[in-house]
Structure formats: C-alpha cells, structure tokens
Structure 1
Amino acid sequence: MSLDGRRWQVLAEINSDGGLIDAADAARRVCDYCLRRSGASDVALSLMTSTRAVHLVASAGPRGGELSRLQFTMGEGPCLDAYDSGQVVPVADLDDAAVARVQHHRE
C-alpha cells in the first residue's frame, strides 16, 4: 500500500463514525489509535514552540499525560530528545531510560 493510501486508511479508522470532529477530539482519537496499534502502554501528543514552550494536546493510557508533564517539568526525556535532535527516540521501557539518565548524571 502506498503512503497516501495508508494515510487515508488511518484517517478513516480515526474518524470511523464519519462525523465532523474538532481538533481536540481528533488529537484524542490519534492518541487512542496509536495506543491500540503500537502496543505502547501510554501515548501523548504535545506541541512545542521553537523556545520549547509545551502544550499537552491529548494523551491515552493510564499515565500518558502524567509522564509527558513530568518530562517537560524536569526538562528531559525522550520527547525533548526527539525535539532537539529531530530524530525518533525509541524507548522500549521508560524505567530503563530513567535508570540510564540517572547513571549518566552521576558520571
């Protein structure tokens, strides 16, 4: 399937009822979709400005919003790393990532 075909398939699944939805509902549906399809336990969608001002738009999962707010409060985490580098920063387990960061700061 082409990338455009896949995009339309995802959009159709996100808006399966076919009704009009506002931006906040669309963001929530995107998070729900990502949670179902990725196997992740939590998902969040945030917007950042060039000055790193952050707005949490939507989240899914029991800790999605909480974990995102914590990253932005602490000033570090995989979302900020991805923003700064412009690259995807995959983290299989945030507990492992947290341990690695603590060890790095101790060195």
Structure 2
Amino acid sequence: MGERRRPGAADRLCKACVELLGIDAVAISLVFDGSNVGTLGASTPKARKYDEEQFTYGEGPCLDAVARRGPVIVTDLADPGEKRWPAYGPAMLSHQIRGVYAVPIVVAGEYVGALDLFQAQPATFTDHQAMGAVAAAELAQLPLLDLLDEDLDEAAATPGSFAWTELNALTRAEVSQATGMLMAQLNIEATAALVRLRAHAYATGRSTTDVACDIVARRLRLDPH
C-alpha cells in the first residue's frame, strides 16, 4: 500500500468535521449489499462504536442514506414519534446520542458508504453544517479511491470487479472469521451464524467485533441451543 492515505486520512477528515462544523462525533461507514461492513474513519473511538452499532443491529442512518441515495436526518432519537430504528435508536440513546445526520458517499458511480454525524443534544442541523457535511462526504471519496486498484474505469463499469478488492477487504475481518467458526461449531448456515453473533453482542451489551474477537481467540464459545 506504500504511502496511501488509507484510514488515517479518513480519521483526520472526521476530526476536522468535529472542529469545523461543531459536531460531537463523526464516522465514515462502508456499506455493501445493504450492510454496514466496516468503519473507514472516525473522530474518536466512541464515534467508531456508534458506527459499529449500525452493523450490530442492521439498521441506522448510514444504511438509510445509501438505500435512499440521499441525506438522512433525525433531530431527536428520544422523540416518542421517532421509531424508524427500533434497536439502533435506543442503543444510541444509551450512548447519550440524540441527533444523527448521514450523507451518502459515492465513488465511481456507486453508493459505497456514508458520512455520519452524531450530536449529544437534539440537533436541528444548520445550513452551514449541512453544506459542510456534503463537502466532507465528497472529500471522503479520496481515501476510498486510494483503497481501489488503479483501474477506475473498470471500477466504474463493473461494480463487482476486482478493482473493488481493497475496498471490500476493509471490512470487519474478525466477524467473518467468527461467523465461519460458528458455522462449523453449530452446524448452521452463514446467515444464522451471523444472527447468533449479533444476538449475543446485543444481549451482552458488547460490540459485535469484540464478541467476534473472543470467539476467534477461543475465549468464548456460544451454546448450540
């Protein structure tokens, strides 16, 4: 990879958003096939945790922003009428986050992720913040492009091509390993194994990656029943 920007530049971009836009936390999500598969960058470890919760629960602003191909904003997750994320919403409230805003990131014509902004207090995002978030989402293309092979024409023409190899590789590898181990241990399909992994993370109040690491290191073995 040499001196490519990789996640370091993405972290710096997230930190700059916090400082310039007056946001409490910022993360850059990677989204493939409707799933949050990795965190490219985050302003703090807490921001990375906020993003990973979207993977654990299979819902959240980054997924909606990519699916809708447009910004997603929630002023107050504590609003009784706000029910779009029945699992992710309460999880974020437990982290003292009430306002969220997500802007999709597009690379070579593909919606591959989102810039996620988090606020501790109910947030009516200003025009300045919204414009800054859109600009930052465009800048986020740079570290993403650095993860692609050099043949960007192929990437644009064939989204499933090998030009996306490095980008696809930046996923939660421990989760993939743990899923494979659970398939073998419990004699279940991959989808069921991932559900078991996420369910255990939810039940124990831990991140999916932390649970996966324990399974891979054989510190944890899930009950087959």
Deviation at 1:46, TM superposition (A): 1.5
**Which of the residues 36, 57, 60 maps onto 1:74?**
57
SS in 2 for 1:90: strand
What amino acid does structure 1 have at the position aligned with 2:25?
D
Gaps of 5+ in 2: 88-225
Q: Give the conservation status (yes or no) of the 8 Å contact 2:42–2:48.
A: yes
CA–CA distance in structure 1, aligned partners of residues 80 and 31 of structure 2 = 22
Count of aligned pairs between the two proteins: 85
- Structure 1 pair 47/67, CA: closer, same or farther in 2 (3 Å)? same
Confirm or deny that 1:27 pairs with 2:13: no
Report which of the two has the higher share of helix.
Answer: 1
Which of these two proteins has the greater Rg computed from alpha carbons? Answer: 2
**Which of the residues 31, 52, 70 maps onto 1:87?**
70
**Which of the residues 44, 56, 73 maps onto 2:39?**
56
Report which of the two has the higher share of strand.
Answer: 2
* Structure-to-structure mapping, 1:13-24, within 5 angstroms: 22-24=5-7
TM score, norm. by length of structure 1:
0.63
CA–CA distance in structure 1, aligned partners of residues 64 and 84 of structure 2 = 15
CA–CA distance in structure 1, aligned partners of residues 39 and 13 of structure 2 = 13
Cα displacement string for residues 61-106 of structure 1 (whole angstroms, at most 9, x for unaligned residues): 462111111112111111111111111012334x33797127979x
Deviation at 1:38, TM superposition (A): 2.0
**Which of the residues 59, 78, 82 maps onto 1:100?**
82
Cα displacement string for residues 36-60 of structure 1 (whole angstroms, at most 9, x for unaligned residues): 1222211001211235251111111
